[in-house]
Chain A
Amino acid sequence: MGAWARLDPLHWLVLRVASGMAGERTATAVWRVLAGHRGIQTVQDVCWYGLRRYYAVVDGTEGEAVRRRLRELVAWGYLDEGGRADGGRRSITVTDAGARALREAPAGAAVDAVLVTWDGLRDERAWRVLYPRLLLAVQTLSHLVRGQTAFVPVVRAIDAQAWVRALLAGRSVAGCAAQLRAELEQVLDGLPPRLADMLVASFSGCGLSGATAQQLAAHAGASPVLVRAALRVAVARVQEAARREPRRFPLLHNMAEPRPCEGLSASAEATRALLLRGLDPEEVARRRGLRLATVEDHVVEIALRDPTFDIFRFLDRATHEAVWAARCRLGTVRLRAIRDALGGTVSYFAIRLALTRPPRARAGGESVAVPATQWGMSGGMGKG
């Protein structure tokens, strides 16, 4: 037992992400990963530093709580804010004491146990889109089947309201409710009972208020941060089942609304469609009236999110190899360092694109020395 017993799950998450970023990023970058920012820089960080398991596990309103944890971790000597990241901003580094705390704090095992199946890039949309729709659909149907049309919606998101309106257009309320209940029963059967209990306890309905994470946590003797993470995991599992078996879960499948390439913004999706039709980035930029840099951001983001996307249309293999050789030799993903090591001749776009694909294993099974913790493409990785 050490002083790190005082680390709560949120402390641990902050420390874990900071540790993954290897002293190369700022506190803001840590926050953006945890809060699930969808900007290209954050998505790059998540991929390059192997942080899929910790992406989008904290709510965007919890900035103050995260700020407090950051301050405390610095005060305890677990984090050091002295470094310099790219662009002269202050980067944060995990100290030796912090690394030990990260390994030994009991909070860590608890967080990883909850998030073991979570892949933020794949799953965050379940929380952002599917969950509000699900909450509102249950609440609405719960009232309508009792003939109640007047109630205060628990979800204000316009998207969810539009979706539920469309769901009910021209369908019988009883039929919808029966369908939703049947699908939920089947899908929840496949979840650990504790997760299913928590998820359903968070639903509101006619005469039944939903429980908050804080209330669920008080009941389970856990921390609200963990309960919020667990709820995210539960919704992601519902989404996964719905997408895997659209015939079995037609309503939930429609609610989850699969995208051709998960997580892309509408604009990046439009770029992707044009690229797949064979246009090159310059043509896409011209045709869409965008700056080339924007389209290049799209290309990188598509490559990060879609493992089947062919980057070698935009990048020759020699450059790819050279970037990776520099990246492994330097032990960093700092773009400027890699560019300097390559004599300043390779564009940032080419470097960023190259970094989206690790080099293939050599013949004979010998692989390039990429630290395993840097590549959590599936979301799983050891503690570092």
Chain B
Amino acid sequence: MNRADLCAALERHFGYRAFRPGQAELIEAVLAGRDALGVLATGSGKSLCYQLPALLLNGVCVVVSPLIALMEDQVAALRARGFRGVTALHSGLDPAERRRREERLFAGAYRLVYVSPERLVQPAFAQRLARAGVSLFVVDEAHCISQWGHEFRPDYLRLGQVVHALGRPPTLALTATAPPPVQEDIVAVLKMRDPVRVILPVNRDNLAFDCVPVEGEAQKQAVLAERLARLAGPGIVYVATREAAEAFCTWFSRRDGRPAAYFHGGMPADERARILEQFRAGELFVVFATNAFGMGIDKPDVRFVLHAHAPASLEAYVQEAGRAGRDGAPAYACLLYDRADLALQQRLVVSEYPAEGALVPLLARLRAQGEGAACLDEVDDPEMRHLSAVVAQLELTGAMAYDPATGTWTWQDAKADLDGLAKQVARRLRARRADRLRRLRALAAWAEGEGCRRAALDRYFGSPGGEKPAACCWACGVDWTAYADAAGAASWGKRTAPMGWRQRLAQLLPVTPAAT
């Protein structure tokens, strides 16, 4: 299929006139039966790289994705576009529903299926899938494969065997952030053969990177207040903790009538869904959020992303800042950089790992229980907070089988030597922690470094430098007032009082009520 046919297919199925950078190269590679690795910034249309081939190839396109929520979002988004032959298989389904979907899958009813890794590594499942005919094997968020990746997931390590079991279909690995060592890990683990590599600049040239050094909360609030008062929305303010998200939102709402909300992982799922819905609909000027706000935001016209606290790594920063300006129009990212916040991040990192002395009793409890769920509801037991981190490492040592999607685990060897195991786990956790702290230092070095900061990002991520835009970075000079709202704050209006239930119901369901 030549480029013109490909463009025609793109317009027919997705309504786009042209490919975004990198998409066509990756699609052509997999259509030609080759392996490919794509490092494409968030929002640059990664998913299209397999969605279009899924429609054009015979057989089913299998996409491995780490998060249930992400899978269901993608399925919903595709269905919303009228793409019906798509489903997701993961442990969040009840057994009957999963069976139903699997039977339809093996009967050839789907062109595209999202699967969680733990389902795929089950040999019987992979065999049936291979018989059904896999057209393309896609690993999304492929940096999770690498121990050096900032979101390493043990279950991704086995995907190399899965490719083999599926009969070696063309393999496409996609990620938004992967420094060169991570790229090498991905290629090695997936045993990719001479893959086509498309590595795009991690930063888009319509996004200006700004950074304001601050000291203390008062100064930070002053800068934040100034920016929020004038910047054109909608935007996101990222903070490090749930409490901070709520507190900043309250702070903002007291001084500004424009609609704002907070968003974090400690909120009921239905409320999070409503915030996303309002944000998508353009009803919110700003969302104060933890890093939980990200997955499932598919909003092209975010105009600014401010970081009131430094995030945990440069990878995280680029991913979060990159949520601004996906539509290609000018957008503004600003890091409010307070060294004290690094200490906060450092504490957060350290608090995610158990004290080494606590490991033996914790392992003893896990072994005694034999199996269970790594839930965070053990309010009275501080050690249980570390359960998922410990269990993930235990899985690597083979002592335990772990299903990250449901958090359930099974102890494998009742006679294992707990002291030795604890030492092993402690060593692994120390390495993980050191790695996390190294990433945090890389962020600090970036924020405090000299010379063009955009070029520094490209160096760190090993991506080719693009052309230097006029609004580049704070080292080259950025005028943030250029991103001010010309219409002024008034364009957002105030939140109006909710209407009465009868009126709202009539608007929701504008039909003549049936007589009952």
Contacts and interface: CB of A to CB of B under 8 A. Distances in A.
Interface stretch (A185-193, A273-281, A304-312, A365-373): A185-193
Interface string B369-401: 000000011111100000000000000000000
Interface string A184-209: 11101000010011011111111011
A212 to B, nearest CB: 4
B76 interface: yes
Given A197-B501, A212-B275, A215-B261, A30 B509 contact: no
A203 B508 contact: yes
Given A63-B266, A214-B271, A28 B516 contact: no
Given A150-B81, A152-B280, A181-B513, A142 B266 contact: no
Nearest to A137: B509
Interface string A71-90: 00000000001000000011
Contacts of B271: 212-214
Interface in A8-28: 26-28
B508 A61 contact: no
Interface in A91-131: 92, 131
B515 interface: yes
B509 A145 contact: yes
Given A61-B265, A155-B273, A177-B509, A28 B378 contact: yes
Contacts of B194: none
A26 B384 CA distance: 15
A56 interface: no
Nearest to A188: B501
A66 B378 CA distance: 11
Interface in B219-275: 242, 253, 261-262, 265-271, 273-275
Contact of B511 (A67, A145, A211): A145
B161 interface: no
Contacts of B82: 149-150
Contacts of A151: 80
A3 B154 CA distance: 49
Contact of B507 (A66, A177, A208): A208
Interface residues of B, number: 55
A19 B513 CA distance: 48
B277 A175 contact: no
Given A63-B377, A209-B281, A155 B270 contact: yes
A61 B272 CA distance: 11
A210 B271 CA distance: 9
Contact of B268 (A26, A61, A64, A219): A61
A135 interface: yes
Nearest to A62: B266
Contact of B76 (A149, A152, A197): A152
B501 A162 contact: no
A70 interface: yes
A210 B277 CA distance: 8
A156 interface: yes
Interface residues of A, number: 79
Given A197-B498, A203-B504, A158 B277 contact: no
A196 B275 CA distance: 21
Contacts of B495: 215, 219
B377 A35 contact: yes
A37 B379 CA distance: 13
A60 interface: yes
B217 to A, nearest CB: 20
B514 A60 contact: no
Interface string A239-274: 000000000110000000000000000000000000
Nearest to B376: A63
Contacts of B216: none
Most buried by A among B93, B277, B512: B277
Nearest to A180: B509
A198 to B, nearest CB: 8
A138 B516 contact: no
B351 interface: no
Contacts of B94: 158-159
Nearest to A162: B97
B420 interface: no
A150 B76 CA distance: 9
Interface in B71-96: 72, 76-77, 80-82, 92-94
Contacts of A135: 270
B380 A177 contact: no
Interface in B485-516: 495, 497-498, 500-502, 504-516
Contacts of A145: 509-511
A175 B377 contact: no
B278 interface: yes
A212 B269 contact: no
A65 interface: yes
B28 interface: no
B458 interface: no
A298 interface: no
Given A200-B504, A209-B277, A138 B509 contact: yes
A64 B93 CA distance: 26
B516 A209 contact: no
Nearest to A35: B377
Contacts of A81: 380
B504 A175 contact: no
Contacts of A212: 261, 267, 271, 274-275
A156 B509 contact: no
A154 interface: yes
A285 to B, nearest CB: 21
Nearest to B502: A185
Contact of A158 (B97, B261, B507, B511): B97
Q: Which 4 A-B pairs have the closest CB atoms?
A: A182-B513, A27-B380, A205-B508, A200-B501
23 contacts: A27-B380, A30-B379, A62-B266, A63-B379, A64-B266, A65-B266, A138-B509, A146-B510, A150-B81, A152-B76, A152-B277, A154-B274, A158-B97, A178-B514, A181-B509, A182-B515, A182-B516, A185-B505, A205-B508, A210-B274, A210-B277, A212-B275, A228-B268
Interface of A: 26-28, 30-32, 35, 37, 59-67, 70, 81, 89-90, 92, 131-132, 135, 138, 141-142, 145-146, 149-156, 158-159, 162, 174-175, 177-186, 188, 193, 196-197, 199-206, 208-216, 218-219, 228, 248-249
Given A61-B268, A142-B508, A249-B516, 10 more contacts: A28-B379, A59-B267, A81-B380, A154-B277, A155-B273, A181-B513, A182-B515, A182-B516, A205-B507, A211-B274
